[in-house]
């Protein structure tokens, strides 16, 4: 018998003509005569989900990214059919679906402007090597459209004209434009004609995004397997897009303990115990604030997770207690590779319970990491995550470690060309069994999730603190992160600035870089400038590879030490401001850092700016990123601002030279802002705070500021024991009014506010507090007008001539 053995290469295939429509409450189905089905779910008025199958049936609907707490529901849904298309109308969007080929166009329902449209739309190609499809989506680029997001890509903030790959990768000493690196966050925001939308491509296979590189008028995204499954999120403000995406994939499950927002010191590695104590004692001796000390892999016995090297750390419980008594929380590293050692209890238990990943033909996945040959737990299996979380009992509950740092969880494997597991490794995937091609990008996320649950359980009643290197969308629910193994260069300082901004606009605000650079050795000037940037990143940690030299604040010269101390002290003073911003993240998904385009998308000047960012929503920061700089040109956003150091009043919307010697950095405060400040502490909780400073910046007009506070740890804040103060400032030509409203049951230790008023254009002739005239003796005038008042005031009037 003669057969045709040549494989039929079908190439790209497309949906054909529409044949039927079905509605099931909020989900609509559009079927074609070649078995393509488009499932459109109206998640919210501004959030639509598009999901395609090419076989007529859908697989089990499962996602690690989407949180069960995501908001759902809409105010309006109307469906209209005509000869050529279907119109799906919500209170925010009009979605048109063509009957000829299921191509989609989406409009703002209020003004009928086009937001996003398919170019050739959904198409696919059979994957002959693996089975299934390579799924693709192509969309038209609008006039002057810009793109932002995709997590920690070390590229220009604006992604226009670039192509990227999402495949979580251990990227030691990565450089500018290295791709892929440590995280896979397949979410981007498009912006054109002052309207912003987001697309979250929830596909965990190796994915790609092209923002007009191959074809200048087309943006496309595709995956090497799985479904074409994406969420369309409409703004029209970029902040709305980011907040709605964060709502979809999850906000952090709780506020971090306040100490986690302090300064952290790390090195590969601090050991033995005497070296750890030497470092912590030096911080206290030099009075440089610090809240956490880190133990890298050398604290373990032969790099076996959940063990201690008793030669280096003979009594870890005593040491951790002594460190805590001196204000230092201990954070320990835990990697996924479990050493193959039949005398090692963690290995034995996992082997007996069949918790390790296996290859397609049955043998265990074996790879070399720090302990030598290892097996790797399958964190996609619920029982394995439960087991893993239970392993933290001794480390956390018994010994007292208060933070855990997950590294190498891409998963990284040494001495193999692809740096990770082979594609044929099998995973449970919460009952949706699959290969590593599908599970790779979420492996680190699921390890961090299991770690988080162990920390939460055994650190109770205190809040958990976890850090991860690898991440997929939604990982922000469980953990903080850093940007991986960077290098001590000026270029990497610039990269760190961009990465932290991009992570914030990708829903993952609790991020920072290895301050000073992990690889190689910074000079004192670079270290100083990096500290100045790092104290404005939500996660603030110095970390270095010890074989290159020392990177503690005193490792350079006395001038560097003094400047570093000054900026770390500023970090601690601004903790109530940062903590309030974290509360907004938890409540609303509001990014902690705002790139200028996120702050003011209507200003075209912001769309290609990368350096400056707004910390919270009222402090403008512009790091110095070049050696020997005495200052720099920077763009001041629209509005009016005060120079933080000099109180100079500056009109925005233009570029400006700003002086910044080595002991300074360009910083501006938004006019009308009321910035809360703590007194300097050597660590969080060192002193009982008796007075809180409020830095008030005069504005002719109105501005609202906020102050959130609670016990700084524990869960009482979830039961109403928090304090949320709203300050409404109204400035007139000869009057300044500050109104306060408080909600919540928590009473902070401080009894008074010290108001420091900047930029007041008149001399005060009368003070009224809650309708009572107060003696002018309360005023102190020394460049800045200051006064101390009871924190329970409702309204202050400062009246001039």
- Residues 334 and 210: their CA atoms lie apart, in Å, by 36
Q: Could you confirm whether 770 is annotated as catalytic?
A: no
CB atoms within 10 A of CB 5: 5
Beta bridge partners of 13: 124
- Count the helix, strand and coil residues of the chain and give each as a percent rounded to the nearest 5: 20, 35, 45
The residue written with tokens 């409540």 in the block is 587
Beta-sheet strand order (sheet of 649-651): 593-595, 613-615, 619-621, 667-670, 640-643, 649-651
Q: How many CA atoms lie within 13 A of 459 on its CB side?
A: 28
Strand pairing category for 292-295 and 329-334: parallel
Strand pairing category for 752-758 and 691-697: parallel
- Residues 330 and 320: their CA atoms lie apart, in Å, by 6
Cα-only R_g, the chain: 28
Peptide bond into 85 cis (omega under 30): no
Structure tokens at 215: 């074809």
- Spell 644-662 as b/e; 16+ CB within 10 A means b: beeeeebebeeeeebebeb
Picking from 283, 245, 286, 278, the residue whose alpha carbon sits closest to that of residue 262 is: 283
| Distant-in-sequence, close-in-space partners of 701: CB < 8 Å, separation ≥ 6 | 672, 730, 731
Q: Could you confirm whether 407 is annotated as catalytic?
A: yes
Beta bridge partners of 654: 636
- Residues 74 and 279: their CA atoms lie apart, in Å, by 56
- Options 101, 291, 378, 407, the catalytic residue: 407
- Options 85, 291, 410, 611, the catalytic residue: 410
- Helix pair 316-325, 273-286: axis angle to 10 deg: 0
- Options 485, 552, 611, 612, the catalytic residue: 485
- Residues 369 and 411: their CA atoms lie apart, in Å, by 10
Q: Sign of the CA dihedral 232, 238, 244, 247?
A: positive
The answer to whether 122 and 137 have CB atoms below 8 angstroms apart is yes
Beta bridge partners of 594: 614
Active site residues: 407, 410, 485
């Amino acid at each position: 018998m003669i057969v045709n053995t040549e494989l039929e290469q079908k190439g790209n295939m497309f949906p054909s003509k529409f044949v039927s429509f079905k509605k099931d409450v909020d989900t609509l189905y559009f079927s074609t005569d070649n078995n393509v089905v488009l499932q459109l779910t109206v998640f919210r008025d501004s959030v639509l989900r598009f999901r395609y199958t090419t076989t007529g049936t859908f697989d089990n609907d499962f996602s690690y990214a989407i949180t069960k707490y995501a908001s759902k529901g809409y105010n309006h849904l109307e469906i209209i059919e005509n000869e050529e298309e279907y119109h799906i109308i919500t209170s925010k969007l009009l979605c048109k679906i063509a009957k000829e080929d299921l191509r989609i166009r989406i409009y703002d329902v209020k003004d009928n402007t086009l937001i996003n449209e398919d170019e050739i739309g959904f198409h696919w190609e059979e994957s002959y090597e693996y089975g299934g499809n390579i799924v693709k989506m192509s969309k038209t680029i609008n006039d002057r459209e810009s793109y932002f997001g995709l997590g920690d890509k070390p590229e220009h903030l604006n992604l226009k004209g670039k192509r990227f790959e999402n495949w979580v990768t251990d990227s030691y000493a990565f450089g500018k434009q290295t791709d892929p690196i440590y995280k896979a966050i397949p979410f981007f925001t498009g912006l054109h004609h002052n309207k912003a939308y987001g697309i979250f491509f929830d596909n965990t296979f190796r994915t790609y995004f092209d923002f007009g590189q191959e074809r200048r008028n087309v943006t496309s995204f595709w995956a090497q397997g799985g479904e074409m499954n994406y969420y369309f999120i409409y703004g029209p403000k970029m902040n709305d897009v980011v907040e709605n995406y964060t709502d979809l994939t999850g906000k952090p499950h709780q506020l971090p303990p306040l100490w986690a927002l302090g300064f952290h010191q790390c090195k590969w590695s601090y050991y033995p115990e005497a070296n750890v104590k030497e470092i912590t004692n030096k911080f206290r001796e030099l009075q440089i604030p610090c809240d956490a000390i880190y133990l890298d892999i050398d604290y373990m016995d032969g790099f076996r997770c959940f063990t201690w090297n008793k030669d280096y750390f003979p009594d870890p419980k005593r040491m951790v207690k002594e460190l805590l008594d001196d204000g230092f929380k201990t954070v320990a590293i835990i990697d996924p590779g479990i050493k193959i050692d039949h005398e090692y209890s963690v290995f034995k238990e996992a082997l007996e319970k069949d918790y390790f990943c296996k290859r397609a033909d049955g043998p265990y996945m074996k790879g070399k990491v720090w302990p030598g040959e290892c097996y790797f737990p399958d964190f996609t299996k619920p029982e394995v995550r439960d087991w893993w979380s239970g392993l933290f009992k001794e480390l956390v509950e018994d010994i007292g470690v208060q933070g855990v740092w997950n590294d190498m969880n891409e998963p990284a494997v040494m001495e193999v060309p692809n740096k990770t597991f082979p594609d044929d490794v099998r995973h449970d995937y919460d009952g949706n069994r699959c290969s590593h091609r599908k599970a790779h990008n979420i492996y680190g996320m699921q390890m961090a999730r299991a770690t988080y649950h162990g920390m939460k359980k055994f650190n109770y009643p205190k809040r958990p603190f976890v850090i991860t290197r690898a991440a997929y969308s939604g990982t922000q629910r469980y953990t903080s992160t850093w940007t991986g193994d960077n290098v001590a260069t000026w270029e990497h300082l610039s990269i760190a600035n961009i990465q932290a901004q991009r992570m914030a606009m990708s829903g993952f605000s609790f991020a920072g870089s290895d301050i000073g650079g992990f690889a190689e050795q910074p000079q004192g000037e670079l270290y100083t400038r990096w500290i100045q940037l790092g104290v404005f990143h939500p996660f603030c940690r110095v970390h270095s590879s010890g074989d290159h030299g020392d990177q503690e604040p005193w490792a350079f010269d006395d001038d560097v030490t003094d400047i570093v101390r000054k900026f770390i002290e500023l970090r601690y003073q601004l903790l109530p401001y940062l903590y309030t911003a974290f509360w907004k993240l938890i409540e609303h998904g509001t990014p902690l850092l705002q790139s200028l385009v996120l702050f003011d998308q209507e200003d075209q000047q912001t769309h290609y700016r990368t350096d400056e960012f707004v910390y919270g929503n009222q402090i403008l920061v512009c790091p110095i990123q070049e050696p020997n700089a005495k200052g720099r040109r920077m763009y001041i956003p629209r509005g009016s601002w005060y120079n933080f150091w000099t109180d100079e009043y500056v009109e925005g919307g233009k570029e400006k030279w700003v002086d910044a010697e080595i002991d300074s950095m360009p910083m501006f405060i938004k006019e009308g802002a009321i910035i809360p400040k703590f007194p300097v502490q050597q660590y969080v909780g060192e002193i009982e705070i008796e007075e809180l400073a409020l830095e008030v910046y005069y504005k002719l007009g109105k501005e609202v500021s906020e102050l959130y506070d609670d016990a700084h740890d524990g869960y009482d804040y979830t039961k109403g024991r928090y304090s949320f103060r709203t300050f409404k400032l109204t400035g007139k030509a000869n009057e300044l009014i500050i109104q306060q409203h408080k909600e919540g049951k928590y009473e902070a230790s401080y009894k008074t506010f010290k108001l420091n008023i900047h930029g007041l254009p008149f001399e005060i002739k009368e003070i009224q507090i809650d309708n009572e005239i107060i003696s002018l003796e309360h005023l102190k005038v020394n460049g800045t007008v200051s006064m101390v008042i009871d924190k329970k005031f409702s309204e202050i009037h400062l009246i001039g001539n």
